[in-house]
Structure 1
Amino acid sequence: MIRQLSVAVFTLMLPCAFAQDAPAPAASAAAKPVAMLDVRAQAPIHGDANAGAGKAAVCGACHGPQGVAIAPNFPNLAGQSATYIYLQLKAFKGGQRNDPIMTGQAATLSDQDMRNLAAHYAALPAKPAGKPDAASRGAQLFLAGDPAKGVPPCQGCHGAAGQGPTGGWLGAPHTAWQTFPRLAGQSAFYIGQQLGDYHHGKRVGISNGKLMEGVAQNLDEADIQALGAYIQSL
């Protein structure tokens, strides 16, 4: 669930000019649509955490030296599913996700680099738990959803404590459960922004994004803020 809720980021600009007599660009130069990244049958990712640590120095500028973000618009990576991190890097590299910072960073990574970085961050201790308000609107949405609005409970994919599912996906044994992220402790700002991106159809390049798009369509601004506050407190 996420506007995708407050914990994330980013804008692009690129000026260009043509001489007065320059010919119009050929139609064949038009960019081809990027194929959706289907993660439904993704096997769990494994990598070399030590090798990943050696490449993570530049990542620390935004995500913190220990994977806990330095500002609320960046996501925490510590303790995140290695499979999830790998797939997001793969999506940035393949164009299914776009960000002026991450697109450039991922462009230079090999597939093994991405696996190693994912293993490194998955091995780091997650941000300590907070004190969630079990009576809040955010708790209601996260744990029970809102059937009247067509909103399913977030815990179905992200775990009851927001730490990601720890076994079969929705009760069924399937490797796809590892493609859902840990949300606990992400900033309300980042969660809100991501849920907003899902709501406006900006994060649908990955198959899981289509699921989140449907969920976010039924969340209003107050719901998104409530979810962000609750998730940040987990």
Structure 2
Amino acid sequence: MNKLLISLLVSIGLTGVAHAAGDAAAGQAKTAVCTACHSTDGNSVVGNFPKLAGQGEKYLLKQLNDIKSGARMVPEMTGLLTNLSDQDLADIAAYYASKNVTLGQTAEDQVELGQRIWRAGIAEKGVAACTACHSPTGQGIDSAAYPALSGQHAQYVESTLNKFSKGERNNDPAAMMRDIASKLSTEEMKAVSQYVQGLH
């Protein structure tokens, strides 16, 4: 059932949504306020702030719109997007998508379990492999607005999984990530979060 749902959502994403029409050069000038948390090139140096560099343009635009509308609550960003137009958001998304993400390292003691979950999921819990939506190398599927995770801070990924598992974050299509995260143990969340930090 999980595989069928994922296939359906990917198909809808591939055919049903137009690609964001952002201008990366214009976007650079609009990111001044973003640099405090996400750095100039989108490679945040603080683990609880996500890296935006190399993220899919469509995914970034969806998150920006969700944060602006209140569909996704990010207290640190309250009011920051209020006066930005749709074009401004598209330009910012294009700018960060044009940058290269810097990779981290996976803690050695987390590689085996993290890799197993990433590549194969956890069949006995009904958890699909992460590769189904985020690709084997963690590049995501931007046409479906599924995020790239390669190089993302483990701290941020683990925090996000926890928020999905508790329903504190709920802007995922068809509650897909809420369903998956709710089935993961604390140990499993930590392992897969560490794994993506060094994945490339």
TM-score (norm 1): 0.74
How far does the alpha carbon of each residue in 1:174-220 deviate from its partner, in whole angstroms, 9 at most, with x for none? x4x2x10000111111011000000001111x342611001111101
| 1:46 CA displacement | 2.0
Q: Secondary structure at the match of 2:163?
A: helix
- Please give the alpha-carbon distance, in whole angstroms, between the structure 2 residues aligned to 1:233 and 1:112: 33
Larger radius of gyration: 1
Q: Is 2:17 the counterpart of 1:46?
A: no
Instruction: Write the letter of the residue equivalent to 2:191.
Output: A
Mapping for residues 71-150 of structure 1, pairs under 5 Å: 71-128=46-103, 130=105, 136-150=112-126
Misfit runs of 4+, over 4 Å: 129-135
Structure 1: state its 5+ residue gaps. Answer: 1-38, 167-174
What CA deviation, in whole Å up to 9, does each residue of 1:85-126 have, x standing for no partner? Answer: 111010011110112222321212110000000000011112
Asked whether the 8 Å contact 2:150–2:196 carries over to 1, the reply is yes
1:228 aligned residue: 193
Q: How far did 1:130 drift?
A: 4.8
Alignment partner, residue 36 of structure 2: 61
Percent of pairs with identical residues: 37
Aligned residues: 185
Aligned CA distance change for structure 1 residues 201 and 63 (closer, same or farther; 3 Å): same
**CA spacing shift, 1:190–1:196, aligned 2, 3 Å:** same
Question: Which one has more relative contact order, counting CA pairs under 8 Å at least 6 apart?
Answer: 1
Q: Is the 8 A contact 1:78 1:125 kept in 2?
A: yes
Greater CA deviation, 40-49 or 88-97? 40-49
Shift of 1:137: 0.3
For residue 156 of structure 1, what is the aligned residue in structure 2?
132
Q: CA deviation at 1:81?
A: 0.5
Question: SS in structure 2 opposite 1:90?
Answer: helix
- Asked if the contact 2:106–2:194 (Cα under 8 Å) also holds between the matched residues in 1, the reply is no
Specify which structure has the higher proportion of helix. Answer: 2
Partner of residue 180, structure 1: 146
3-state SS, counterpart of residue 55 of structure 1: coil
Whether contact under 8 Å (1:162, 1:184) holds in the other structure is: yes
Specify whether residues 158 and 225 from structure 1 end up closer, same or farther in structure 2 by C-alpha distance, changes over 3 A only: same
Task: Could you tell me which runs of 5 or more consecutive residues in structure 2 were left unpaired when the two chains were aligned.
Answer: 1-11
Taking only aligned residues, the RMSD between alpha carbons, in angstroms, comes to 2.0
Aligned mates of 2:138, 2:122 — CA distance in 1: 17
Q: Offset at 1:154?
A: 0.4
